[in-house]
Amino acid sequence: MSEPSETQEARPKAGKLIYKQTLATRLTHWVWALSLFFLLLSGLQIFNAHPALYIGDQSGFAFDNAVLRIGGERTPDAGRRGFVELLGTKFDTSGWLGLYRDDNGIIQNRAFPGWMTIPSYYDLATGRVVHFFFAWIFAITLITWLVAALVSGHFRRDILPRWRDIRALPRDLADHLRLRFHHRREYNVLQKLSYAGVLLVLMPLMIATGLAMSPGFNAAAPWLADILGGRQTARTIHFVTMLLLVGFFVIHIVMVLAAGPINELRSIITGWYRADATENEER
Protein backbone atom coordinates (compact mmCIF):
# COMPACT_ATOMS: atom_id res chain seq x y z
CA MET A 1 0.00 0.00 0.00
CA SER A 2 1.25 3.45 -0.76
CA GLU A 3 1.18 6.49 1.45
CA PRO A 4 -0.88 9.36 0.07
CA SER A 5 1.73 11.64 -1.43
CA GLU A 6 2.04 15.30 -0.58
CA THR A 7 0.99 16.35 -4.05
CA GLN A 8 -2.24 14.42 -3.86
CA GLU A 9 -5.45 16.25 -2.96
CA ALA A 10 -6.57 15.98 0.65
CA ARG A 11 -9.56 14.02 -0.56
CA PRO A 12 -8.34 11.04 -2.57
CA LYS A 13 -9.76 10.55 -6.04
CA ALA A 14 -12.66 8.12 -6.09
CA GLY A 15 -11.84 4.78 -7.61
CA LYS A 16 -13.91 1.84 -8.75
CA LEU A 17 -16.66 0.15 -6.78
CA ILE A 18 -15.47 -2.99 -5.03
CA TYR A 19 -17.52 -5.71 -3.34
CA LYS A 20 -16.46 -5.22 0.29
CA GLN A 21 -19.14 -6.63 2.61
CA THR A 22 -20.55 -10.12 2.13
CA LEU A 23 -24.24 -10.84 2.56
CA ALA A 24 -23.49 -12.57 5.88
CA THR A 25 -21.71 -9.50 7.24
CA ARG A 26 -24.45 -7.14 6.11
CA LEU A 27 -27.29 -9.29 7.45
CA THR A 28 -25.67 -9.90 10.85
CA HIS A 29 -24.78 -6.20 11.11
CA TRP A 30 -28.38 -5.09 10.71
CA VAL A 31 -29.85 -7.84 12.88
CA TRP A 32 -27.44 -6.79 15.64
CA ALA A 33 -28.25 -3.12 15.14
CA LEU A 34 -31.96 -3.85 15.45
CA SER A 35 -31.69 -6.25 18.38
CA LEU A 36 -29.21 -4.07 20.30
CA PHE A 37 -31.58 -1.12 19.95
CA PHE A 38 -34.41 -3.08 21.56
CA LEU A 39 -32.10 -4.78 24.09
CA LEU A 40 -30.79 -1.41 25.26
CA LEU A 41 -34.15 0.29 25.70
CA SER A 42 -35.85 -2.76 27.26
CA GLY A 43 -32.78 -3.27 29.44
CA LEU A 44 -33.09 0.24 30.84
CA GLN A 45 -36.77 -0.56 31.53
CA ILE A 46 -35.68 -3.65 33.50
CA PHE A 47 -33.03 -1.65 35.37
CA ASN A 48 -35.73 0.82 36.45
CA ALA A 49 -37.38 -1.95 38.50
CA HIS A 50 -34.42 -1.91 40.89
CA PRO A 51 -32.11 0.97 39.98
CA ALA A 52 -29.03 -0.08 41.95
CA LEU A 53 -25.95 -2.15 41.17
CA TYR A 54 -23.93 -4.22 43.63
CA ILE A 55 -20.76 -6.27 43.98
CA GLY A 56 -21.11 -9.89 45.13
CA ASP A 57 -23.76 -12.63 45.19
CA GLN A 58 -26.50 -10.58 46.78
CA SER A 59 -27.85 -7.06 47.09
CA GLY A 60 -27.00 -5.38 50.37
CA PHE A 61 -30.06 -4.15 52.26
CA ALA A 62 -28.61 -4.50 55.76
CA PHE A 63 -25.07 -3.80 54.55
CA ASP A 64 -23.69 -1.64 51.77
CA ASN A 65 -22.21 -3.26 48.68
CA ALA A 66 -23.81 -0.92 46.15
CA VAL A 67 -21.63 0.75 43.53
CA LEU A 68 -24.36 2.68 41.75
CA ARG A 69 -27.79 3.97 42.71
CA ILE A 70 -30.15 6.11 40.68
CA GLY A 71 -33.20 7.61 42.32
CA GLY A 72 -35.31 10.54 43.34
CA GLU A 73 -35.36 12.17 46.77
CA ARG A 74 -36.73 15.13 48.72
CA THR A 75 -34.48 18.14 49.03
CA PRO A 76 -34.23 20.15 52.32
CA ASP A 77 -36.33 22.94 50.81
CA ALA A 78 -39.20 20.43 50.25
CA GLY A 79 -38.46 20.12 46.55
CA ARG A 80 -37.52 16.96 44.69
CA ARG A 81 -34.40 16.04 42.85
CA GLY A 82 -33.00 13.15 40.89
CA PHE A 83 -29.61 11.74 41.78
CA VAL A 84 -26.97 9.28 40.66
CA GLU A 85 -24.84 7.90 43.46
CA LEU A 86 -21.64 6.43 42.04
CA LEU A 87 -19.27 4.76 44.51
CA GLY A 88 -20.61 6.86 47.37
CA THR A 89 -20.57 10.20 45.55
CA LYS A 90 -23.92 11.81 44.75
CA PHE A 91 -24.59 13.84 41.63
CA ASP A 92 -27.71 15.89 40.97
CA THR A 93 -29.26 14.57 37.75
CA SER A 94 -32.76 16.11 37.95
CA GLY A 95 -34.61 16.08 34.65
CA TRP A 96 -32.26 13.52 33.25
CA LEU A 97 -31.88 10.53 35.61
CA GLY A 98 -33.86 9.67 38.73
CA LEU A 99 -36.50 12.32 38.20
CA TYR A 100 -37.90 13.77 34.99
CA ARG A 101 -40.87 15.67 33.66
CA ASP A 102 -42.85 13.61 31.15
CA ASP A 103 -44.62 14.89 28.02
CA ASN A 104 -47.65 15.83 30.11
CA GLY A 105 -45.60 17.89 32.54
CA ILE A 106 -45.93 15.30 35.30
CA ILE A 107 -42.80 14.74 37.38
CA GLN A 108 -41.94 11.05 37.27
CA ASN A 109 -39.67 9.32 39.74
CA ARG A 110 -37.77 6.94 37.49
CA ALA A 111 -34.10 6.05 37.02
CA PHE A 112 -34.12 6.20 33.22
CA PRO A 113 -36.77 8.52 31.78
CA GLY A 114 -39.60 7.23 29.58
CA TRP A 115 -38.04 8.37 26.32
CA MET A 116 -35.11 6.00 27.01
CA THR A 117 -37.20 2.91 27.74
CA ILE A 118 -39.48 0.43 25.98
CA PRO A 119 -42.33 0.68 26.77
CA SER A 120 -42.15 4.37 27.65
CA TYR A 121 -44.27 3.82 30.80
CA TYR A 122 -43.10 1.61 33.67
CA ASP A 123 -43.76 -2.02 32.68
CA LEU A 124 -41.16 -4.53 33.87
CA ALA A 125 -43.06 -7.52 32.45
CA THR A 126 -43.10 -6.15 28.90
CA GLY A 127 -39.51 -4.96 29.23
CA ARG A 128 -38.51 -8.54 30.02
CA VAL A 129 -40.56 -9.98 27.16
CA VAL A 130 -38.91 -7.62 24.66
CA HIS A 131 -35.46 -8.14 26.20
CA PHE A 132 -35.49 -11.94 26.07
CA PHE A 133 -37.02 -12.07 22.59
CA PHE A 134 -34.21 -9.94 21.18
CA ALA A 135 -31.62 -11.62 23.42
CA TRP A 136 -32.37 -14.90 21.64
CA ILE A 137 -32.10 -13.26 18.21
CA PHE A 138 -28.89 -11.50 19.27
CA ALA A 139 -27.24 -14.67 20.63
CA ILE A 140 -28.25 -16.88 17.69
CA THR A 141 -26.93 -14.23 15.27
CA LEU A 142 -23.61 -14.02 17.12
CA ILE A 143 -23.13 -17.80 17.04
CA THR A 144 -24.13 -17.92 13.34
CA TRP A 145 -21.70 -15.10 12.55
CA LEU A 146 -18.84 -16.73 14.47
CA VAL A 147 -19.28 -20.06 12.65
CA ALA A 148 -19.67 -18.38 9.25
CA ALA A 149 -16.70 -16.07 9.85
CA LEU A 150 -14.46 -18.97 10.86
CA VAL A 151 -15.50 -21.06 7.87
CA SER A 152 -15.27 -18.26 5.28
CA GLY A 153 -11.97 -16.87 6.53
CA HIS A 154 -13.58 -13.47 7.32
CA PHE A 155 -12.47 -13.91 10.91
CA ARG A 156 -8.79 -14.56 10.10
CA ARG A 157 -8.62 -12.14 7.17
CA ASP A 158 -10.59 -9.16 8.44
CA ILE A 159 -11.06 -9.36 12.22
CA LEU A 160 -7.92 -10.76 13.84
CA PRO A 161 -5.18 -8.10 13.73
CA ARG A 162 -1.95 -9.35 12.14
CA TRP A 163 1.61 -8.34 12.93
CA ARG A 164 1.74 -5.80 10.13
CA ASP A 165 -1.53 -4.32 11.47
CA ILE A 166 0.02 -3.84 14.89
CA ARG A 167 3.06 -2.16 13.31
CA ALA A 168 0.73 0.19 11.45
CA LEU A 169 -1.05 1.14 14.68
CA PRO A 170 0.75 4.45 15.42
CA ARG A 171 0.33 5.72 11.87
CA ASP A 172 -3.30 4.56 11.74
CA LEU A 173 -3.99 6.33 15.03
CA ALA A 174 -2.43 9.53 13.68
CA ASP A 175 -4.49 9.26 10.49
CA HIS A 176 -7.70 8.84 12.44
CA LEU A 177 -6.89 11.82 14.66
CA ARG A 178 -6.40 13.96 11.57
CA LEU A 179 -9.63 12.46 10.15
CA ARG A 180 -7.67 11.21 7.17
CA PHE A 181 -9.35 8.03 6.06
CA HIS A 182 -8.16 5.44 3.56
CA HIS A 183 -10.96 3.73 1.70
CA ARG A 184 -9.74 0.20 1.15
CA ARG A 185 -11.18 -3.24 0.94
CA GLU A 186 -9.45 -4.21 4.18
CA TYR A 187 -10.27 -2.88 7.60
CA ASN A 188 -7.59 -0.70 9.18
CA VAL A 189 -6.06 -1.82 12.47
CA LEU A 190 -8.25 0.38 14.67
CA GLN A 191 -11.30 -1.07 12.96
CA LYS A 192 -9.99 -4.60 13.43
CA LEU A 193 -9.28 -3.99 17.10
CA SER A 194 -12.63 -2.39 17.83
CA TYR A 195 -14.64 -4.97 15.87
CA ALA A 196 -12.71 -7.80 17.56
CA GLY A 197 -13.30 -6.14 20.93
CA VAL A 198 -17.02 -5.82 20.31
CA LEU A 199 -17.59 -9.18 18.61
CA LEU A 200 -15.25 -11.35 20.67
CA VAL A 201 -15.26 -9.62 24.06
CA LEU A 202 -18.22 -7.29 24.69
CA MET A 203 -20.96 -9.25 22.93
CA PRO A 204 -20.00 -12.66 24.45
CA LEU A 205 -19.58 -10.94 27.83
CA MET A 206 -23.08 -9.50 27.51
CA ILE A 207 -24.49 -12.98 26.92
CA ALA A 208 -22.39 -14.54 29.71
CA THR A 209 -23.37 -11.94 32.30
CA GLY A 210 -26.99 -12.19 31.17
CA LEU A 211 -26.97 -15.97 31.60
CA ALA A 212 -25.24 -15.63 34.98
CA MET A 213 -28.32 -13.73 36.20
CA SER A 214 -30.68 -16.56 35.23
CA PRO A 215 -31.50 -18.81 38.22
CA GLY A 216 -32.20 -21.70 35.82
CA PHE A 217 -28.89 -21.36 34.01
CA ASN A 218 -27.22 -20.90 37.39
CA ALA A 219 -28.26 -24.46 38.28
CA ALA A 220 -26.67 -25.72 35.05
CA ALA A 221 -23.41 -23.79 35.39
CA PRO A 222 -22.92 -22.24 38.84
CA TRP A 223 -19.26 -21.60 37.92
CA LEU A 224 -20.30 -18.88 35.48
CA ALA A 225 -21.72 -16.59 38.17
CA ASP A 226 -18.77 -17.53 40.39
CA ILE A 227 -16.06 -16.53 37.91
CA LEU A 228 -17.93 -13.30 37.23
CA GLY A 229 -17.87 -12.49 40.95
CA GLY A 230 -21.42 -13.50 41.88
CA ARG A 231 -24.85 -12.79 40.41
CA GLN A 232 -24.98 -9.15 41.44
CA THR A 233 -21.45 -8.49 40.12
CA ALA A 234 -22.53 -10.12 36.86
CA ARG A 235 -25.48 -7.71 36.76
CA THR A 236 -23.08 -4.80 37.29
CA ILE A 237 -20.76 -6.05 34.51
CA HIS A 238 -23.82 -6.44 32.26
CA PHE A 239 -24.58 -2.75 32.85
CA VAL A 240 -20.98 -1.57 32.35
CA THR A 241 -20.70 -3.63 29.14
CA MET A 242 -23.88 -1.92 27.94
CA LEU A 243 -22.19 1.45 28.50
CA LEU A 244 -19.15 0.28 26.52
CA LEU A 245 -21.35 -0.90 23.66
CA VAL A 246 -23.15 2.45 23.64
CA GLY A 247 -19.71 4.10 23.57
CA PHE A 248 -18.74 1.93 20.61
CA PHE A 249 -21.98 2.86 18.85
CA VAL A 250 -21.30 6.60 19.26
CA ILE A 251 -17.73 6.33 17.90
CA HIS A 252 -18.94 4.01 15.13
CA ILE A 253 -21.49 6.60 13.95
CA VAL A 254 -18.98 9.45 14.19
CA MET A 255 -16.50 7.44 12.11
CA VAL A 256 -19.12 6.61 9.49
CA LEU A 257 -20.05 10.28 9.20
CA ALA A 258 -16.41 11.36 9.06
CA ALA A 259 -15.35 8.72 6.54
CA GLY A 260 -18.20 9.42 4.13
CA PRO A 261 -21.68 8.28 5.18
CA ILE A 262 -23.02 7.56 1.68
CA ASN A 263 -20.15 5.26 0.73
CA GLU A 264 -20.08 3.52 4.12
CA LEU A 265 -23.85 3.04 4.19
CA ARG A 266 -23.87 1.72 0.62
CA SER A 267 -21.28 -0.89 1.52
CA ILE A 268 -23.16 -2.13 4.59
CA ILE A 269 -26.46 -2.22 2.66
CA THR A 270 -25.44 -3.41 -0.82
CA GLY A 271 -21.92 -4.64 -0.16
CA TRP A 272 -20.42 -2.25 -2.77
CA TYR A 273 -17.83 0.27 -1.66
CA ARG A 274 -16.02 2.94 -3.59
CA ALA A 275 -12.33 2.56 -2.78
CA ASP A 276 -9.73 5.29 -3.19
CA ALA A 277 -8.25 5.42 -6.69
CA THR A 278 -4.75 4.75 -5.39
CA GLU A 279 -5.96 1.61 -3.64
CA ASN A 280 -7.53 0.26 -6.81
CA GLU A 281 -4.37 0.69 -8.85
CA GLU A 282 -2.64 -1.78 -6.61
CA ARG A 283 -4.99 -4.55 -7.54
Partner 1 sequence: MSRIMMNRRKLLTIGSVAGTSALVSGCDAFDGVLAGRSPVRNFMESTANGLSYRVQRFLIGGHSLAQEFAEADIRQPMRPNGITAPADDTYKALSANAFADYRLEVGGMVQKPLSLSLVELMTMPARTQITRHDCVEGWSCIAKWTGVPLSQVLDLAVVKSEARYIVFHCLDTIERGLSGEVKYYESIDLVDARHPQTILAYGMNDERLPVSNGAPLRLRVERQLGYKMAKYIRAIEVVSDLAAFGFGKGGYWEDRGYEWYAGI
Site residues (vs partner 1, CB under 8 A)? 41, 46-47, 49-50, 52, 57-63, 102-104, 106, 114-126, 128-130, 132-133, 135-136, 213-220, 222, 225, 231-232, 235
Closest CB to partner 1 among residues 54, 273: 54
**Minimum gap (Å) between residue 195 Cβ and partner 1:** 28
Residue 19 or 121 with smaller CB distance to partner 1: 121
Whether 208 contacts 224, CB under 8 Å: yes
| β pairing state of 100-101 and 272-276 | unpaired
Burial of 131 (0-12, 13-18, 19+ CB in 10 A): buried
Strands 52-54 and 89-92: unpaired
Report, in Å, the least distance between residue 280 CB and partner 1. 41
Is the Cβ of residue 128 or residue 176 nearer to partner 1 in the bound state?
Answer: 128
Supply the minimum distance, in Å, between the C-beta of residue 48 and partner 1: 9
- Taking the complex as a whole, how short is the minimal distance between the CB of residue 156 and partner 1, in angstroms? 31
CB 47 to partner 1: min, Å: 7
Cα separation, 218 vs 202, in Å, equals 21
Is 201 in a helix, a strand, or coil? helix
135 or 190: CB nearest partner 1? 135
Q: Which is nearer to partner 1, 128 or 154 (CB)?
A: 128
User: How far apart are the C-alpha atoms of 98 and 126, rounded to whole Å?
Assistant: 21
Bond from prior residue into 261 cis (ω within 30 degrees of 0): no
